[in-house]
Structure 1
Amino acid sequence: MIYQHPLAYLLGLQGRALLRAFAGEYDREFTQARLAEVRALLDSADVLGEGGSLAAVSVSDGYEAWAPRYDEPGNAMVDREGPLVRALLDRILAGDERRTVLDAACGTRRHAAHVAARGHRVIGTDCSAAMLALARSKLPGAELHQADLAAVPLLDASVDVVVCGLALAHVRDLGPVFMEFARVLRPGGHLVVSDSRGYMHGGGGYPIVVRAPGGGLGYIPSWSHPTSAYLKAALPVGFQVRQCDEPPCPGPLVDEAGTPPGDPAPVAPFTAQDGHPDIWSLHSWAAAATNAAYDGKPHFIVWHFQLPL
């Protein structure tokens, strides 16, 4: 169970911004403006409400609920991660040889469709039946399996490339997953991993809030792994690092009204009557602090590993 208070999130943004100002990144005027905003936020506590508690839901149940909306436009992380991962896959798959590619946690088929369009054999796995149903509707005849990342239903040394996009944040222990990826890859095989770095500073990243199976809201647990965690999982099972990128969050994250640039309509400011807090509707209460808090923070991480021949 977690408890999310809207004022706690906003004061956290202000605290992060003030720490950066204290370290010299912002001037006196910025600091005084943030302190004034903190006073105003404290005076607005009743308007913001008391927040609420959320129980955890399983990853599979969470994505069952999210599946109908997953492909809707407006997911900045997916929009930015996709071209980088697909460009990396294109370099790995260059040439005329037909390869076998495992898209682990394939979701609705984002990367699998790109690989299949290039003429390669694609196998997809995901823990969510609803996500796989959408993938199957978009990739008729594809080989898809409902499976956990640490228990892939494939033979040893049976694929040339594994791609795993924006899924490992839902795995507490990366070791068994990387061991499984190494098991199914042939010698010389490639592993491409992308992962969220979490939107919140400190802790496990902003939990994804979804409709719970029994009604109401729940959250999908997530972990923001340090960069070293991937290496500790990958190197002992034989992977070698070929590339690592950590693109920063887009800046500014929101405009002066708290709306992400490019959104077709302004985000309405959150009030207590809206129910459970959503961070994007809270940003309008502290737009400058939001941008300072997230400026330069890694948005996601992309790895290219390879097994030796």
Structure 2
Amino acid sequence: MTDPTLGELTVGVEGLALLRLLHADGADAATARATRMAETRDVLGRLERDPSLQGPLGVELDLREGYARWAPTYDGPLRLFSIEEPPMRSRFDAWPAGEVLDAACGTGRHAVRLAERGHSVVGVDQSPDMLERARAKIPGGRFLEGTLTDLPLPDASVDAAVCALALVHVPELEPAVAELARVVRPGGRILVSDVHPFLVQLGWQAQFPSAAGRAYVRLHRHRVTDYARAALAAGLVVHGAEEPVLTPEAAVTPTVELVPEATRTAFVGLPGVVVWELARP
């Protein structure tokens, strides 16, 4: 079995763009479809003779090695940050000051904001390299090494929890959501964001540049209803949900420079992130 190539991804993006144009309104719709067909034929004709299209999409790394390599550039920012942060912040900015867990905290992106809002922050991540950067940003915070399915905290020990763009890294949602519920006190809130299942179904991965070229960490495929099911199984109540859509700035894939118009047409406007606000009764 060979790794997927940039050429294969490019053909797929052209096809998705064409599908989204099939019933588009406006006098230019037919022209846009014809453009996509012509560019698809051009890409197909180049597959055998263009070495850049024959190269792999990137090296797949496991979580630990992937985030160790990603840590120096993680605050880039990433493509989904611009659409994920506004709904997350609008919700946790309204929380009264307390002790908040940032689960899978990474380099402390949300932990910094929480600390600025007067919260006492405890961050947990399985990557020592990410935690090192988080500690440097928030000297007064407490940062511990641990996983989403084995949080190093006692039962009912925090007032609220945040888990951002991380549950896609676990194969099963229920154990991780149950852990979040376990450590939050009764009456507390849990705020979860994740890469939208629609994008993961379309093949999006946690991709990043590395010294050796493109690399990625594989994302697990969950459905939107899987999140709700895991929350209900943990005894949580759903207080709200949002699905921010991809903007041109967020719709970045390895094809964006090769076929920019097709990439925008394929992805802009699709749901890019899902945000859940949960409560422990």
TM-score of the two chains, using structure 2 as the length reference: 0.89
Aligned length: 277
CA distance in 2 between counterparts of 1:207 and 1:3 reads 16
- 2:42 maps to which of 40, 43, 48: 40
The percent identity for this pair of structures is: 36
Q: 2-side partners of 1:16 and 1:24: how far apart?
A: 13
* Other-structure match for 2:268: 295
Q: Residue 92 of structure 1: CA displacement?
A: 2.4
* C-alpha distance in structure 2 between counterparts of 1:17 and 1:102, whole Å: 40
* Matched letter for residue 243 of structure 2: E
| Residue of structure 2 equivalent to 1:155 | 154
Shift of 1:120: 1.9
Distance 1:225 1:139 in 2: 33
CA distance in 2, matches of 1:2, 1:173: 27
Q: Does 1:227 align with 2:224?
A: yes
TM-score of the pair, normalised by structure 1: 0.81
What letter corresponds to residue 112 of structure 2 in structure 1? A
Shift of 1:239: 0.9
Give the letter for the 2:9 counterpart.
Y
Give the 3 Å change call, closer, same or farther, for CA 202–145 of structure 1 in structure 2.
same
Equivalent-residue separation in structure 2 for 1:156 and 1:25 (angstroms): 54
Cα 1:32–1:223 shift into 2, 3 Å: same
Aligned to 1:91: 94
Q: Which deviations, in whole Å up to 9, do the C-alpha atoms of 1:258-284 show, x marking residues without a partner?
A: xx7xxxxxxxxxxxxxxxxxx44x323
- Unaligned runs of 5+ residues in structure 1 are 255-259, 261-278
* CA pair 53-112 structure 1, distance change in 2 beyond 3 A: closer
Structure 1: distance between partners of 2:256 and 2:72: 26
Deviation at 1:80, TM superposition (A): 2.9
Contact 1:203 1:223 (8 Å CA) reproduced = no
8 A Cα contact 2:193 2:273, kept in partner: yes
Question: Structure 1: which amino acid aligns with 2:141?
Answer: A
- Among 231, 241, 244, the alignment partner of 1:244 is 241
Q: Any stretches of 5+ residues in structure 2 without a counterpart?
A: none
Tell me by how many angstroms 1:287 deviates.
Answer: 2.5
Which SS does the other structure have where 1:183 is aligned?
helix
**AA aligned opposite 2:65:** D
Higher deviation after alignment, 47-56 or 79-88: 47-56
User: Which residue does the alignment assign to 2:168?
Assistant: 169
Task: Give SS of 1:64's match.
Answer: helix
1:285 paired with 2:258, answer yes
Matched-pair contact (CA < 8 Å) for 1:205–1:224:
no
CA-to-aligned-CA distance 1:60-95 (integer Å, 9 cap, x gap): 21111111111134x2311332232122101122xx
Note the C-alpha offset of 1:140: 1.2
Over 3 Å counting, the alpha-carbon distance change for 1:200 and 1:89 in structure 2 is closer
Specify the alignment match of 1:268 in structure 2. none
Aligned equivalents of 2:114 and 2:57: distance in 1? 41
RMSD (Å), alpha carbons:
2.5
How far did residue 58 of structure 1 move? 2.0
Q: How does 1:24-35 map to 2 (within 5 A)?
A: 24=24, 27-35=29-37
**CA offsets per residue over residues 71-126 of structure 1, 9 Å max, x none?**
134x2311332232122101122xxxx41100001111111122122222111100
Once the two structures are superposed, the pairs formed by residues 194-213 of structure 1 within 5 Å of their partners are: 194-197=193-196, 200=199, 202-209=201-208, 211=210
Match of 2:72 among 62, 68, 92: 68
Distance 1:198 1:175, change over 3 A: closer
CA distance 1:89–1:196, shift in 2 (3 Å): same
State the secondary structure of the residue aligned to 1:9. helix
Partner Cα separation in structure 1 for residue 235 and residue 188 of structure 2:
11
The CA deviation string for residues 230-250 of structure 1, in whole angstroms up to 9 with x for no partner, is: 011111111111110111100
